[in-house]
Copies of this chain bind each other. A is one copy, B any other.
């Protein structure tokens, strides 16, 4: 019999995971949420096999994926613990791991219930199951937080079935890494939009906005409430990343009137090339 995966919160990430797992043919997917209409939509789009608005229905699940925002993961875990069957594995998709792992640790539960933190490094500035795709995780990386080997293996198998590669690290390593490579770009995007908004001539120059500003600010169109939660939860690591970034910004500022600017840009050009293969 196929293992049952319950996904609580069938939005962009949860919905895409459901689609990918169903497509793999290896899992039965149950969507859980508050809004029956949205869950029906998720089913129509092929994100779930079944859906329910009763949280207690997690009782049938071998794996539970909490797909809701960062601040709600530990409270949701606490709510479902009483209904979970022995051996159940719970994971999440939150962009910050330290605070979630700390909060989860404080939740009382039977020793047979496992929580393994997870973070798929894929997404979009779009939200909702309407933007979901079974290909969202194809070739992407999912971080799982170091844990006991059995639940870790089960989740690795699950994410592999969804097309993702898995990397295991500590919550702290994860949070330091994403502070630089994900949270900092979000902070920068918002700062860049605010810098534009503060210009008195912004209406006059708006027609001049082109690719570099569009790409550099794209993630400022991500959900503000979710991102405020993420940035606040990882504030200390983001401040460290900001220090690195400010140092590099000052270096380019300094180079603007020096002869080595081209050399400096050639170096970043060369570093970026293999990372995204020309994209």
Residues of A within 8 A of B (CB): 121-124, 140-141, 143, 165, 167, 169, 173, 177-178, 180-182, 184-199, 201, 204-222, 224-225, 227-228, 231-232, 235, 238-239, 241-242, 244-249, 251-253, 256-257, 261-262, 264-269, 271-273, 275-276, 278-279
Contacts and interface: CB of A to CB of B under 8 A. Distances in A.
A266 to B, nearest CB: 4
A262 B228 contact: yes
Per assembly, the copies of the chain total: 2
B221 A273 contact: yes
Contact of A252 (B191, B210, B224): B191
B268 A197 contact: yes
B231 A195 contact: no
Nearest to A208: B121
A72 to B, nearest CB: 15
A197 B239 CA distance: 18
Contacts of A261: 228, 231-232
Contact of A271 (B196, B252, B269): B196
A49 to B, nearest CB: 28
B184 A245 contact: no
A201 to B, nearest CB: 7
Contacts of A271: 193-194, 196-197
